[in-house]
Amino acid sequence: MHNFEKLLFWQKSIVLAKNIYIVCQEINNDEKYGLISQIKRCTVSIPSNIAEGSGRNSTKEFNHFLAIALGSAFELQTQLILVRELHLLPEEMVNTLLNEVSEIQKMIYSFKNNLK
């Protein structure tokens, strides 16, 4: 069992989720129940799956939940690219978020490989 709160990529994913919630307030209400809802769900899924996996009984199970968290990070990346393409947020703001997502993806991937 791992203490997920000490995992840097979990900490960064919490910061990312907070940042996503803040910038989503900038997007018009027409998207509130569409794209924004989906973005918030997959963003929260990243640290949630890291935490859930850390409490599992085996490395194999933890690895599985890290894979789900990684998948959510790639889903978020895709949705942010769509936000950028639709000009729903300033490009610079989206690119900053995409850089955060990319860093978390790399950290999860590296941790998964070392966990085996």
pTM of the model: 0.93
What are the distances in angstroms from CA 61 to CA 45, 53, 103? 16, 6, 23
> pLDDT per position in the chain (116 positions), as tens?
678 999 999 999 999 999 999 999 888 777 667 889 999 999 999 999 999 999 988 899 999 999 999 999 999 999 999 999 999 999 999 999 999 999 999 999 999 999 86
User: Which structure tokens are listed for 102?
Assistant: 């990319």
| 88: nearest Cα among 42, 20, 41 | 20
